[in-house]
Structures are given as C-alpha cells and as structure tokens.
Structure 1
Amino acid sequence: MVTIYDIAKKANVSAMTVSRVINNTGKISKKTEAKVRKIMEEMNYVPNQMARSLVLQQTKILFLLITDITNPFYTTLSRGAEDAANRSGYRLLFGNSDENLQKENDYIHTILSTRVDGLLVAPTGDASLPHLEQLRRHKVPFVLIDREVPGMDCDVVLGDSKGGARTLVEHLIDNGHRHIAMVNGLSTASSARLRLQGYQEALLLHSLHMPDNYVFETSYKLHQQVTGNDMPVLPSLEAWFDQLEPRPTAIVAGNNVIAIEIIRMLRKKEIQVPEQISVVCFDDFGLYSEIAPFMTVAAQQAYQFGYMGMQTLIERIQNKDHEAQPWRKVVLPAELIVRDSVAPAKDEQSQ
C-alpha cells in the first residue's frame, strides 16, 4: 500500500509537506502542490481517511436519519439532503428508523461510534428526547426535520402542518361537506398534533361539530402494524370506520401512506371515491402523482426540507462557535393541489 512517505520520497519533499497537500493546510507553493498531487495520482494513492479525520477533527461525513424510506416524501427529502451535502464536500450516510424508537436508538449509537460530523434527523416522536440529549452530550451537531421534540431547543425545519390541514378541511367544506372525519398519525409526533389542530380549527371556524370518534389515531406507517415497547398494537381502520354514525362524507388523511390505506379499505367495502366519500391527504406521492394524478393533497416542499435542513446543519458545523449561535426554526408552507378525489357532497348528506 502506498504511503505518504513513498509520495514524499518520489517528490523529494518531506512527509509533512505531503500531509499538508492532502489536508489543504499550511503554506505550500502551487508548484510543489501540483507536483505532489501529480505523483499521488501516478501512484494511485488513497488518503487514509481515519488519520485525516484525526488531524482535521472532522470526517466530512454526515448522517441522515428518517422514519420511512418507502414514503415518497422522505425519498425526495433525502435527495435534497444529499445534494446539499455533496455541494459542500460532504458524504452522506442514511438510516431508516421505521417509526421505531428502539431502531432509532440503535442508529444513534452507531452515529456516536462512527464519528460523523453531524446528523439531520426526523425523530420518531416525543420519546426521541433522550436520544437527542445523547447527541448534545457528545457535542454532535444535529438539525431536526419534519418534527419537533418538546424539551429540545435546536435548529429545525418544519412544514406548516396546521395550516396545510386547515386548508384541506376548508376545501372539503367549500364542496359542501359537513361530516368530515380524520385518520391521523400518533399524537406522540408533533406533526400529527399540528395537523389535528388544523382540522379542529377549520371545523370550529365554520361552526361544525364532529362526533368524538370521528378522529382515528394510527401509525404514519399504517401498512406495517409496528409493535414493541414504543408502539402499541393498533386498532383496525376498518373497525373504526364501521362504527361511525353518521357515516362521514369525507376523510382527511394525516399523510400519504394513511391515504393509501383508506382507499384500500373503501375499495374493499365497494365504496367509491369520490362519488360516495371524498378523501384528501397531507403530503404528495412523488412520481406516482405525475403518472396517475388523483388525490387532492396539501403538498410539502420535500426537496427543500432536505436541502435546507442539510444547509443549516453544515452551517452549524462550520461555525466554530456553533453552540453559541441562536437556534433557527424554518417553517415551509404546504400547497393545496386539487385533483379528482373530492366531489361535491350530496344535498341530503351535507344538511
């Protein structure tokens, strides 16, 4: 294996000079630098990244931890994060917690042991607080995306969950719907709480009162009935729907994955969307929406989530006094995209 001493001998310079060229440190003439880099290329020299990280006190490696890699929102978010990292000369590692607290904990331990420079994370929920406190104790910079965690002051990039949900409900009300149910994520996630608040505010604004059981709480990964210490066994969506009285004319889904499960359930029951029940949801479907546009959504700026979150993280890392700087909170608006999943409520249903 070629070492810096081999490079130094052939270039007739000191090993320290080669080290400075590799790490871009110290004052070296452009002629000497060019000579050393040419010899490095000729000898196929690969720098020892571990040794380099010890010298520079950084690895140039960042970590992105999301909750559901199968969700098009997080897929697009990840691309934005990767582009921002690459643009600043960082490599990016990925992890997927599956909305599972134990899996998130395992990733946090991996992150701490691999000496990454920082973490961009979508937390599983409020119970992620001890994991974030571990990062802070070990002085690992991090930025939250999509969800906040009560008790943790830090940089965060969020979507306007409350405003987006309110817009969806108002769109249904404008189409004559007066019996509007909601299937939402678990209330342990800040985004789910805000979407519920947006739903409730829109109803209150229009003096509409729904039965208490019109709101159903489940996992954002509904199709994988996750169980464990951090996740209860979830009740059946179908059982919830069957006991509703009166039957709603419209349903708001807390995210796109939940919307798919709602559509599956309604098709199983041979209930047509939107002719018999209208359905809207938070988050778009990525390329699927371009191929078969159907669902009316409150679309979030998924790419910008990742890009801005990563930019914020890198700025925090590169600022030597990063812990003394004010924390930043960015809220990105959601856009209502009207498609074909909403129909005007029938007169007898909307009274």
Structure 2
Amino acid sequence: MPTIKDIASAAGVSVATVSYVLNDTRYVSPDKKERVLRAIRELNYVPNAVARGLRVRESKTISLIVSDITNPFYPDVAKACEDYAREFGYTVNMVNTGDDPQRLAGALEQLRKGKVDGAIVTTAMEADRELLRQLMEEGYPIVVAHRPLERFAGDMVVSDNYRGGVLAANHLLGLGHTRIALMTGVPGSTVSLLREQGYEDAMREAGVEVRPEWLISGEAKYAPSFQATRALLQLPQDIRPTAVINISDIGALGILDAAYDLGVEVPGELAVVGFDDLFIAASRCVQLTTVKIPRYEIGRTATELLLKRIAGGKPERSELLTLPVELVVRRTCGSQTSEYNVSEET
C-alpha cells in the first residue's frame, strides 16, 4: 500500500505538502495541489486512518444526495432524515446533483475530506457503482436509498417498485382496459426499470400484448410527460391507449393537462395512474389514482441504518430493506372519488 512518502515522491513535493492537501489545513498552490491529487489517484492511495477504519474526527453531519431538489418527492425523505438525525445530534446537508455523475462524485468527496460522516445516496445509477464500491472499501459509511442497484454489496433501503408496477397494471386490467401505456422515467434508473418490469409481467400474465408505441419516456417530469401524452393520443384509434401509467405523479399531471387540452375526457376516455402519492394527488380538482411510495419511511430507515454504520464501523454483511407500497384509488381511473387503499398483498 502506498504511503504519504510515495505520494510526495511521485508529486515532487514535501511530505508536509501532501499532509496539507490531505487534511486541508494550509494553503497549497494550485499547481502543487493538482500534482498531489494526481499522484493520489494514480497510486490509489488510501489514508492509513481510513484504511484501519479509524475516525480522525466527526463532523456530526451527514449528506442526503438527491437528483432534483424541486421534485416534491424529496421533501418527505429529507424531513425524515432530519427528524431522525437530530435525535442523535446530527445535521443533514442536502446536495442536489441533477443526475450529473460529476456532481455526485463531488458530493461524495466530502466524505474523504471529513466534511461529512456518511452519505445517503438516492440518485444511484449503474455508472456510479464503482465509485460507491471504492468508497465503501475505504471504510466510508454509505446507504443507497430509493434507487436500488443490482448486485450491490452495500446497504440499500428501497420501495417495492416491481410490485407497484404490477398493482397499477392489474387495477387497470381489472377495469377492462387492454390498451395500457406506460410512461417511463429517467433513462437507466432502476426505479423506472423495475416498475416497467412489473407492468409488463402483469400485462403478459393477463395475455395482453404490450405494443412498442405504448412504452414512451416521460422522464418522470411534467413537460416531457405532457408532450408524450400528445403523441400517444394521436395514435390511430385502434391502438390509441385508453389508460396511461406514469411512474411519477408530477408526470401524471402532465398527462391530465395534455388530455384536457385535446378534449379527451378523464376518466371517461382515458384512465390515468401515477406513482408517489404526493399531496397534490389527493386534491379535489385532481383526485389522482396512484401507487403510494413510503417516502418518509425510506428517509428515516436509511438514516437509522447510516447512523448505525457510523457508530459501529464497517458491517460484516450489508442490509437490503424493501418497503411495501399501496395502490390508492381515486377518480382518474374511473373509480369512486372517495379513495381506498389496496395493500401490497392484493
């Protein structure tokens, strides 16, 4: 394993300069700092204290990393993190990445700098796997939440996205719909992929064909979902969907507005189902049928697990916690305005 002396030799600086860069304790010229950082990367250097699993100091701060701070999905997650962290004297630093891998890497670098004691990552994509693996091997506490990663060796707290896709599709099939479209979300997101898989399996089980035209990206956002709806409703009458599932409530609002603009009656001519059960879904003017995702529970459980790792060091085995989902039935699929819940066992 390389040492500070090896880094100093490779960078052509003194051992003291390397120490200043590692601990951020004194000004180092940009040129020297870059040489030191380059040597650290090339030699794959891990500070001895971290390699031994020791904590030099505690910041009493954890990071909550989200993809879009303006998305109403995240406030409940953040509130749960803050509520639980405060009980143990921790504060929460929320970082917005916009699904930019470089911004995620920058946020996680705060672990190495000692600015935060651990991180909850809700934005994980397959491309981020190696970075997360390396940080965990270096001994940094990380919990992946919301977006699961396949074959991931670390702790994860997620909802049952596959079951959600099954519940949404089965409900519409039970109402007699056979032309059911699905608006997918962020490309590469396992949340979107699992919900899509649940939808497709439910359709296949019912003996209903899924036409390629019915799988269209709404990016889990309002504007792309609005435009995607216009495209779906312009399909030939014999293949035009009579029902649409969007993997987010925000996207489902785009469907409702596009249908309104085109004079398509909801739910008479088009049934609509969303995901998340945001507060606006239950408003009287919307009454959106949706799959309820336990956002607060995801945030609290992830924070509880992260603080457990911070206190106890690297675990012998990781945990995968999958939280149940519910279908909340309202007006937009043609059911009664008064809602009722369908549990995951339905």
Which residue does 1:108 correspond to in 2?
A: 108
If the length of structure 2 is used for normalisation, what is the TM-score?
0.74
Q: How does 1:182-197 map to 2 (within 5 A)?
A: 182-197=182-197
Q: Flag the 1:257–1:131 CA change in 2: closer, same or farther, 3 A.
A: farther
Rounded Cα–Cα distance in structure 1 between residues aligned with 2:248 and 2:55: 45
Using the TM superposition, give the Cα deviation of residue 187 of structure 1 relative to its aligned residue in structure 2, in angstroms. Answer: 4.5
- Work out whether 1:242 is the aligned partner of 2:263: no
Using the TM superposition, give the Cα deviation of residue 276 of structure 1 relative to its aligned residue in structure 2, in angstroms. Answer: 1.1
8 Å CA contact retained: 2:67, 2:98: yes
Which residue does 1:67 correspond to in 2?
A: 67
Using the TM superposition, give the Cα deviation of residue 223 of structure 1 relative to its aligned residue in structure 2, in angstroms. Answer: 3.6
Unaligned runs of 5+ in 2: 1-53, 336-346
Which residue does 1:330 correspond to in 2?
A: 321
Using the TM superposition, give the Cα deviation of residue 124 of structure 1 relative to its aligned residue in structure 2, in angstroms. Answer: 4.4
- Work out whether 1:273 is the aligned partner of 2:266: yes
Q: Flag the 1:240–1:339 CA change in 2: closer, same or farther, 3 A.
A: closer
Q: Flag the 1:291–1:238 CA change in 2: closer, same or farther, 3 A.
A: closer
Rounded Cα–Cα distance in structure 2 between residues aligned with 1:153 and 1:176: 42
8 Å CA contact retained: 1:165, 1:282: no
Q: Flag the 1:100–1:271 CA change in 2: closer, same or farther, 3 A.
A: farther
Runs of 4+ residues over 4 Å off in structure 1: 290-293
Q: Percent identity?
A: 26
Using the TM superposition, give the Cα deviation of residue 264 of structure 1 relative to its aligned residue in structure 2, in angstroms. Answer: 2.4
8 Å CA contact retained: 1:67, 1:96: yes
Rounded Cα–Cα distance in structure 1 between residues aligned with 2:123 and 2:172: 31
Larger radius of gyration: 1
RMSD of equivalent CA atoms: 2.4
2:248 is aligned, of 248, 255, 271, to: 255
8 Å CA contact retained: 1:99, 1:221: no
- Measured against aligned partners, the alpha-carbon deviations of 1:299-345 in whole angstroms (never above 9, x if no partner) come to 011110100010000001111xx32421001111111111100127x
Q: Flag the 1:140–1:291 CA change in 2: closer, same or farther, 3 A.
A: farther
Query: What is the one-letter code of the residue matched to 1:249?
Result: T
Q: How does 1:52-63 map to 2 (within 5 A)?
A: 57-63=57-63
Using the TM superposition, give the Cα deviation of residue 211 of structure 1 relative to its aligned residue in structure 2, in angstroms. Answer: 1.2
Q: Helix, strand or coil: the match of 1:281?
A: strand
Q: Helix, strand or coil: the match of 1:323?
A: coil
Unaligned runs of 5+ in 1: 1-53, 226-234, 345-351
1:314 is aligned, of 307, 327, 330, to: 307
Which residue does 1:81 correspond to in 2?
A: 81
Rounded Cα–Cα distance in structure 2 between residues aligned with 1:114 and 1:237: 47
Rounded Cα–Cα distance in structure 1 between residues aligned with 2:201 and 2:77: 28
8 Å CA contact retained: 1:129, 1:151: no
Q: Flag the 1:116–1:291 CA change in 2: closer, same or farther, 3 A.
A: farther
1:299 is aligned, of 292, 298, 310, to: 292
8 Å CA contact retained: 1:67, 1:124: no
Using the TM superposition, give the Cα deviation of residue 241 of structure 1 relative to its aligned residue in structure 2, in angstroms. Answer: 4.5
1:343 is aligned, of 328, 334, 341, to: 334
Rounded Cα–Cα distance in structure 2 between residues aligned with 1:57 and 1:298: 43
Q: How does 1:85-104 map to 2 (within 5 A)?
A: 85-104=85-104
Which residue does 1:169 correspond to in 2?
A: 169
8 Å CA contact retained: 2:108, 2:119: no
Using the TM superposition, give the Cα deviation of residue 210 of structure 1 relative to its aligned residue in structure 2, in angstroms. Answer: 2.2
Rounded Cα–Cα distance in structure 2 between residues aligned with 1:288 and 1:207: 31
> How many aligned residue pairs are there?
280
Which residue does 1:29 correspond to in 2?
A: none
Q: Helix, strand or coil: the match of 2:241?
A: coil
- Measured against aligned partners, the alpha-carbon deviations of 1:107-134 in whole angstroms (never above 9, x if no partner) come to 2234543531000111242222243135
Query: What is the one-letter code of the residue matched to 1:117?
Result: D
Q: Flag the 1:264–1:189 CA change in 2: closer, same or farther, 3 A.
A: same
- Measured against aligned partners, the alpha-carbon deviations of 1:24-59 in whole angstroms (never above 9, x if no partner) come to xxxxxxxxxxxxxxxxxxxxxxxxxxxxxx996211
Q: Flag the 1:187–1:287 CA change in 2: closer, same or farther, 3 A.
A: closer
